[in-house]
């Protein structure tokens, strides 16, 4: 797959792959690329077909795994309750 970059030199394909992956949080995408969640959403809206964007947006909206802070708090709550997460 060829590397597509936008006017700012951002690897668009890489951003889309990371955003599409359920296990990669927006915090991790920002750490790797420097793009905040709002910019990732703009790229996804611009580059995906409208139906694909709607499916992706519906899937990630409110999802704990896409927000590292939320998922960490859930993990600590589970550990406090003595649940084995390994």
Using an 8 Å Cβ cutoff, are 26 and 66 in contact?
A: yes
Using an 8 Å Cβ cutoff, are 25 and 66 in contact?
A: yes
pLDDT at 6 over 70: no
pTM across the whole model:
0.67
Instruction: Return d(Cα 7, Cα 14) in angstroms, integer.
Output: 15
Q: What is the pLDDT of residues 15-38, one digit of tens each?
A: 999 999 888 899 999 999 999 999
CA-based diameter of the chain, in Å?
A: 49
3-class SS of residue 17: helix
**Cross-strand partners of 11:** 5
**What pLDDT, on the 0 to 100 scale, is given for residue 86?**
43
**What pLDDT, on the 0 to 100 scale, is given for residue 74?**
52
């Amino acid at each position: 797959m060829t590397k597509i970059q936008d006017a700012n030199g951002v690897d668009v394909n890489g951003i889309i792959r990371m955003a599409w992956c359920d296990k990669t949080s927006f915090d991790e995408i920002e750490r790797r690329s420097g793009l905040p969640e709002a910019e990732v959403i703009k790229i996804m809206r611009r580059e995906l077909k409208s139906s694909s964007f709607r499916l992706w947006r519906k899937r990630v909206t409110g999802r704990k795994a896409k927000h590292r802070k939320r998922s960490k708090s859930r993990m600590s709550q589970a550990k406090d309750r003595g649940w084995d997460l390994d």
